[in-house]
Chain A
Amino acid sequence: AQKITQTQPGMFVQEKEAVTLDCTYDTSDQSYGLFWYKQPSSGEMIFLIYQGSYDEQNATEGRYSLNFQKARKSANLVISASQLGDSAMYFCAIGGSYIPTFGRGTSLIVHP
């Protein structure tokens, strides 16, 4: 069984500042992947970043980085230099064998 917990229903950040979105997980799989997706108000889910459970380095994709702490079962998303266009829902997901499980999401609002 897999579970994702996102405890922050809403976050606010000033434009150009960094923000961290929290994600903790639970799984019985030895190998798994952790994903972050962005869902703007338009509704389409957009893949942001991936971390494999055996990856030793934290994943980075442009302004996105994933702070992976395996022992603590956390996979927090860090967005650097926030932009107004980053305002959206953000979902953390875990995928072991075949089936992905998503969290309830965090709403991020970037203020000018």
Chain B
Amino acid sequence: GAGVSQTPSNKVTEKGKYVELRCDPISGHTALYWYRQSLGQGPEFLIYFQGTGAADDSGLPNDRFFAVRPEGSVSTLKIQRTERGDSAVYLCASSLTGAGGLVNEQYFGPGTRLTVT
């Protein structure tokens, strides 16, 4: 079946602009995660959705970052007033909900490479 897709694959924007990054998870996966990955680092957790609600947004670096998942499927990560330090690869992953709320194996999308100039 279809995997996790992310659009766009690359986004170049000017400092101060607004961007939206989209994630389309695997059908039936109720859990959805957003990560940020900088060069030479592992994925850094940003936000976790269980269904339509943000179950944990403790990884969002500041209030310029916001994410939604209005129908429990597609999710959009929104970044306002972008800064050069926001440049990174943004990864989305989905999974079935683990037993007892535990993290389950995740399926990742190809990522969106964001460059803020």
Contacts and interface: CB of A to CB of B under 8 A. Distances in A.
Interface string A32-48: 11010100001111110
Interface in A90-112: 91, 93, 95-105
A50 interface: yes
Contacts, number: 70
Nearest to B45: A99
Given A44-B110, A104-B41, A104-B42, A99 B100 contact: no
Interface string B15-52: 00000000000000000010100001111110010100
A93 B33 CA distance: 14
B93 interface: yes
A91 B111 contact: no
Interface residues of A, number: 26
Contact of B103 (A44, A46, A91, A96): A96
A31 interface: yes
B58 A50 contact: no
Interface of A: 4, 31-33, 35, 37, 42-47, 50, 91, 93, 95-105
Report, nearest first, the 8 A-B pairs whose CB atoms are least far apart: A95-B103, A102-B42, A45-B108, A47-B105, A102-B43, A100-B103, A44-B110, A91-B42
